[in-house]
């Protein structure tokens, strides 16, 4: 089956799962409504995001939308298992401000993949999703996860359960290994092909071109460091504090962008789409305003000289 049309910009829903801080149902709805009003029709989610909260909120929003009008992807590999002992604390270990009444259990087996997808569909209130990704197999045990998981999701595609299958990770090793199977339609590259750093250029993007696999480029703000015009030491990088050298590089990039009349988030979004193998960029948002700002940033233009200058200064790679 042909991979679904994703559009240039998709909405990631980790924030809707209370990533870092609580979000009200009303705010979550306003984020999704702003995306819809901007013409965004690709929504990416996962059980991992707030222990299912993001999936439930996305499903509630889409309940009255024509099914043929949007594309949804979710992820498999982590089953959510009730954990009554955790209900009295928050899921801080995974950065989500939700009660830890469930725990994540790794399972990339064919049975685990099917059970994980079925649970996601129940939370989403959907009969089917369009795309399913193996989620972070490198955080479990890469070789057995791929040996079991890739054939399992490929079988879902061949049986018509989903339209396309892929792998999502911030590990270039995992992404490259997934691409080399030749069985995946898409790779969701998280933070490894951004304005700040481009390790995916070494082998992952070339392998995708060779295999005719598309790239969904996610985490293009590097956990928030590139999300404001002036990078701050208070920003996050890789879900944690920003190392001084990384902050210095981000600020140097921001200075070059400003010299060309472009703010850093705008350049980050445009850079993430520069390679033709990239089919869409997925970004999250904590407010409706952020959705609208990023939508407008992608509608703007960026001078070609900016990319040349960043490369010549050794701040980016071609």
Catalytically annotated residues:
49
The tokens describing 303, both together, are: 């001078």
SS3 202: coil
Identify the CA nearest to 7 among candidates 315, 273, 197, 201: 273
Q: 142-158 and 110-124 are packed helices; what angle lies between their axes, rounded to 10 degrees?
A: 60
SS3 61: helix
Question: Is 3 in contact with 71 (CB distance < 8 Å)?
Answer: no
Query: What is the C-alpha to C-alpha distance for residues 149 and 135, in angstroms, rounded to an integer?
Result: 10
List phi, psi (to 5°) of 270. -65, -40
List phi, psi (to 5°) of 259. -65, -25
Would you tell me how many other CB atoms lie within 10 Å of the CB of residue 44? 28
Q: Is the dihedral of CA 64, 68, 70, 75 positive or negative?
A: positive
């Amino acid at each position: 089956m042909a991979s679904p049309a994703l559009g240039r910009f998709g909405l990631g829903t980790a924030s809707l799962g209370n990533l870092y801080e609580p979000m009200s149902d009303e705010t979550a709805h306003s984020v999704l409504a702003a995306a819809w009003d901007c013409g965004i029709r690709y929504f990416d989610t996962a059980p991992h995001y707030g222990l299912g909260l993001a999936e439930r909120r996305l499903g509630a929003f889409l309940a009255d939308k024509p099914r043929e009008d949007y594309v949804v992807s979710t992820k498999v590999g982590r089953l959510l298992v009730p954990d009554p002992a955790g209900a009295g604390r928050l899921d801080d270990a995974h950065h989500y401000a939700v009660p830890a009444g469930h725990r994540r259990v790794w399972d990339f087996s064919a049975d685990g993949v099917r059970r994980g997808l079925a649970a996601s569909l129940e939370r989403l209130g959907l009969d089917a999703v369009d795309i399913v990704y193996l989620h972070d197999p490198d955080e479990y045990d890469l070789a057995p996860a791929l040996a079991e998981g890739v054939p399992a999701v490929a079988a879902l595609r061949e049986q018509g359960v989903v339209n396309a299958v892929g792998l999502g990770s911030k590990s270039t090793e995992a992404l490259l290994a997934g691409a080399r199977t030749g069985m995946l339609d898409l790779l969701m590259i998280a933070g490894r092909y951004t304005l700040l750093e481009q390790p995916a250029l070494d082998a992952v993007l070339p392998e995708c071109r060779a295999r005719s696999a598309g790239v969904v480029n996610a985490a293009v703000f590097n956990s928030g460091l590139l999300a404001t015009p002036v990078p701050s030491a208070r920003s996050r990088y890789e879900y944690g504090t920003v190392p001084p050298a990384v902050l210095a590089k981000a600020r140097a990039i921001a200075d070059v962008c400003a010299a060309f009349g472009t703010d850093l988030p705008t350049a980050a979004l445009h850079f993430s789409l520069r390679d033709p193998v990239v089919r869409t960029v997925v970004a999250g948002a904590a407010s409706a305003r952020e959705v609208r700002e990023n939508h407008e940033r992608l509608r703007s233009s960026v001078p070609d000289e900016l990319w040349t200058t960043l490369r010549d200064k050794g701040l980016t790679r071609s």
